[in-house]
Chain A
Amino acid sequence: MKNHIKILRTEQGWSQAKLAELLGVSRQSVNAVETGKFDPSLPLAFALARLFERPIEEIFIDTEGDPK
């Protein structure tokens, strides 16, 4: 699943470490989610939505229907 976390994080001027601190996860985990290698759970997705003050669908892009 793709996402706009990196853009939103940069807009806020936050480092991965700062975002990790705000979310209560490790910096490496933020990197895994940000690069789209790990799909976050709903609670973490909602936490991101709250932090960026955006709806979830504006942060994450559903690529399931995309042609392979």
Chain B
Amino acid sequence: MTEDTDKKISELSDQEILDLTRMTEADKWANGWRALPTILSMLLLFLGPACIHLGYRLGADQWLSWPDGAGMRKYTAMIAYMGIAIATSFHLRKLSRSMDERLDEVERHIEYKATAAAGNEAIWYGMFMWGFALWFPQYYQGIMAALPLLIFFSFYFAYFGIRMKLRHELEA
């Protein structure tokens, strides 16, 4: 690591940039096969209804009709959906807690700050997009459909950027 603490991020070498974007040991631990059940069940919650919806060519006003499309009773589908959602959130919570224990205090300080700032940014971005959509009713539905993904990507974009900046400030 460089001794020159006044270097700007744009002046860093490729290796130094890579070092700032590295995965922590805790990240590596949590993001391997252990994360697979969470990723799969989260995908299932989104893709399950979406695939059934598309497969049965349900109209745009029938998004909540996917259980009918799958031949399920609405309450059965709701219970199954909630069951997967609760199990996923418990697994995610356990995974986050175990990951947190594996972070050292500097890493934890950076993770918390970056996550909080990125979460804040993502909420405001989501609110802004929603407000923007209200001004353009013809695009409202399209923007609102894309909003979860926009929030998701804006969160991670902000998170990685802020984490890199904090690492540069503290570790360089």
Interaction A to B: yes
- Known contacts A31-B1, A35-B5: does B105 contact A25 (CB below 8 Å)? yes
Residues of A close to B25: CB separation below 8 A: 26
Q: Are B24 and A32 in contact (CB under 8 A)?
A: no
- Does A24 interact with chain B (Cβ within 8 Å)? yes
User: Binary interface profile of A, 29-53, with partner B (CB < 8 Å = 1, else 0)?
Assistant: 1011101011011001000000000
Number of A interface residues at 8 Å Cβ cutoff, please give it: 16
Q: Please report whether the interface of chain B is mostly helix, strand, loop or mixed according to DSSP.
A: helix
Chain A contacts of B68 at CB under 8 A? none
Across the interface, B170 reaches (CB within 8 A) one of A16, A25, A37, A40, namely A37
Residue contact B5 to A29, C-beta cutoff 8 Å: no
Which residue from A26, A40, A41 sits with its C-beta under 8 Å from B107?
A26
**Which of A16, A29, A35 makes the CB contact (< 8 A) with B104?**
A29
Task: Give the docked Cα–Cα distance between A41 and B103 (Å).
Answer: 14
Name the residue among B5, B19, B25, B104 with the largest chain A CB count within 10 angstroms. B104
How many residues on B have C-beta within 8 angstroms of the other chain's C-beta atoms? 14
In the bound complex, residues from chain A placing their C-beta under 8 Å from that of B107 are 26, 29
Whose C-beta in chain B lies nearest to the C-beta of A35?
B5
Residue of A nearest to B109 (CB): A38
Complex CA–CA separation, A60 to B154 (angstroms): 40
- In the complex the two chains form, what is the Cα distance from A44 to B167 in whole Å? 19
The residue in B106, B167, B171 that gathers the most chain A C-beta atoms within 10 A of its C-beta is: B106
Closest to B26 in A: A26
Which residues of B sit under 8 angstroms from A24, Cβ to Cβ?
Answer: 104
Q: Is the CB of A33 within 8 A of B5?
A: no
Q: Are B104 and A33 in contact (CB under 8 A)?
A: no
Q: Which residues of A contact B171 (CB under 8 A)?
A: 28-29, 31-32, 37
Closest 6 CB pairs of A and B: A29-B106, A25-B104, A28-B171, A32-B170, A32-B106, A37-B170
9 residue pairs from A and B, CB less than 8 Å apart: A25-B106, A26-B25, A26-B104, A27-B1, A28-B167, A28-B171, A29-B107, A32-B171, A33-B106
